[in-house]
Amino acid sequence: MKKPKPSEHILTLTCPDRRGIVRAVSGVLADNGCNILDSAQFSDVASNTFFMRVHFADETGGGRGLREKLRPVADEFALEWHLHDASYKPRVLLMVSKTGHCLNDLLYRYSSDLLHADVRAVVSNHEDFRALTESHGIVFHHLPVSPETRATQEQGLLRLIDDERIDLVVLARYMQVLSPELCRALRGRAINIHHSFLPSFKGAHPYAQAHARGVKLIGATAHFVTDALDEGPIIEQDVSRVGHAMSVKEFTALGRDVESVVLARAVNWFVQHRILLNGDKTIIFR
C-alpha cells in the first residue's frame, strides 16, 4: 500500500529579536515528527525584530495538536505567529473597472493552476468583463458606484467578502478610491497595483504624460491598501526601460505588462504566506 503523503504546513512568526528562537521553534517541530522543508529568517536591526517562515512536513502524525505544543515557545519569545495548512488555497476576490490586463493575467494564471488560490468572484463597477470572468467559471458581481451610493456599495462589498470568507482582495486596476473605513476593514488583506516610477504623472493617462516628458524607465508597484492613498507597505516593484522612438501605445503596452507581472508576484507571495509586515514596510521571503 502506498504510504500517504505527509501533511505540509507553513509557520510564520514575528517577535523581538533574541538568541535561541530558531533552535526553540525547530526543536518543537523535530520533537513532534516534523521535517523542515525550507526555512527563512531575518533580523531587522533597526527595530530589533525577528521574522521567520518555516515550511515543514508532518512525517509521523506527531504534529497533531502542534498549536498547543508551540504555545510555550510563543509565550517565552513573545511570538506573533500563524500556522497555515499548506494545502489550503486562500479565497481571493478580484476587483476591476474598465482596464482588464491585470484581471486577464490573473484569471489565466488561476485557470492554468499557476496560482495557489481559490478565486471566488470578480467585482466591478462596470459590466465590461462579465463575459471574460464567466468564461473562467467565476461569478461576476456588478456593483456600480457613485459618490452618492459609495457607502451602500461598500457595505454590499463587505457582505460579499464576509459571505465568501475572502482571505485576499486584489484591486486589479479597480479605479475607485476606497473609503478609509473600508481600507481599515481590509487592512493587511487587500493588494493594489499602481503605475510607480511615475510619481509626477497622476490622474488619467499617466503613460501618455510620461511619454510626453521623455522618461527612460516605467514601472509598477504592488502594495497593501491603506487609507493613505497609494502609500501602503510595498510588496513588489519592477521597471522596464523605454526609449524616445517608442509610441504612447508601446509605452502603455509595456507598462501594462509590467503591472501584470508585478501584481501576480505579489498575489503569489501572499497566498504562499511569504509576506510579513514590518511597520510601514514588508519582509518578503521569496
DSSP string, 205-244: -HHHHHHHHT-SEEEEEEEE--SSTT-SPEEEEEEEE--T
Active-site annotation holder among 118, 230, 238, 257: 230
Whole-angstrom Cα distance, residue 22 to residue 253? 46
In the structure grid, which three cell numbers stand for residue 93, read together? 476576490
In the structure grid, which three cell numbers stand for residue 144, read together? 456600480
Q: Is 167 a catalytic residue?
A: no
* Pairing state between β 275-278 and 281-284: antiparallel
CB 30 within 8 A of CB 58: no
Active-site annotation, residues: 230
